[in-house]
């Protein structure tokens, strides 16, 4: 609880105010990411070093920091375009945010330990949805009272700090 994916959930809920496309994006991104993680755990887990994972996470977080600074350009009147925008933004952002996340690492470890990939991916995906759905649903309820500009800058700053920390950690590992 309280990790970068929940911060991302809150930011997306405040920006798009469309909980169902956001939740669908979280589901699809997590399924895709954890399926890849499970595959890696089964077949390539011994080759993924903490340094490589930290570097990938750091670069993706800096990218998310830059993306968070970009104001929403979708028109409020175009419901279908907003729905696709919220889904696509969530899909990409969550897929990237999950790289090197605790749940992805757990998925790799569980898939390496157990031969049943589908239950492992289903369980970690369900856990991700349970952790983020309340944030998305409550974020929508409070979105009209939230200062979106401040949230955007705060989220961007936090993503940038985390990204720099992960990159620093990757560069200083043996």
pTM of the model: 0.65
Q: Is pLDDT above 70 for 160?
A: yes
What does the pLDDT read at residue 22?
A: 93
Domain boundaries, the chain: 4-171
What does the pLDDT read at residue 144?
A: 64
**In Å, what is the CA distance from 29 to each residue of 24, 46, 62, 171?**
8, 24, 19, 28
Q: Is pLDDT above 60 for 146?
A: yes
- The helix (run of H) or strand (run of E) holding residue 54 is helix 50-69
Structure token pair of residue 92: 């990409």
What does the pLDDT read at residue 71?
A: 62
Contact 54, 170 (CB under 8 A): yes
Q: Is pLDDT above 80 for 139?
A: no
pLDDT digits (tens, 9 = 90+) for 63-98: 777 876 766 443 443 344 455 588 998 999 888 888
Residue range 124-137: average pLDDT? 89
Q: Is pLDDT above 90 for 106?
A: no
What does the pLDDT read at residue 87?
A: 93
Which one has a higher pLDDT value, 142 or 58?
58
């Amino acid at each position: 609880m309280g990790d970068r994916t929940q911060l991302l959930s809150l930011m997306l809920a405040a920006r798009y105010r469309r909980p169902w496309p956001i939740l669908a994006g979280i589901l699809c991104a997590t399924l895709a990411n954890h399926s890849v993680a499970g595959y890696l755990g089964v077949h390539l887990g011994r080759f993924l070093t903490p340094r490589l994972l930290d570097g990938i996470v750091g670069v993706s977080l800096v990218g998310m920091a830059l993306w968070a600074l970009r104001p929403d350009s979708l028109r409020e009147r175009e419901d279908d375009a907003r729905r696709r925008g919220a889904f696509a933004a969530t899909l990409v952002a969550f897929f990237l945010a999950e790289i090197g996340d605790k749940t992805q690492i757990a998925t790799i470890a569980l898939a390496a330990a157990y031969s049943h990939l589908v239950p492992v991916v289903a369980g970690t995906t369900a856990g991700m949805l349970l952790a983020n759905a309340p944030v998305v649903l409550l974020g929508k309820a409070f979105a009209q009272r939230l200062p979106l500009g401040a949230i955007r800058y705060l989220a961007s700053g936090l993503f940038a700090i985390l990204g720099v920390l992960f990159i620093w950690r990757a560069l200083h590992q043996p």
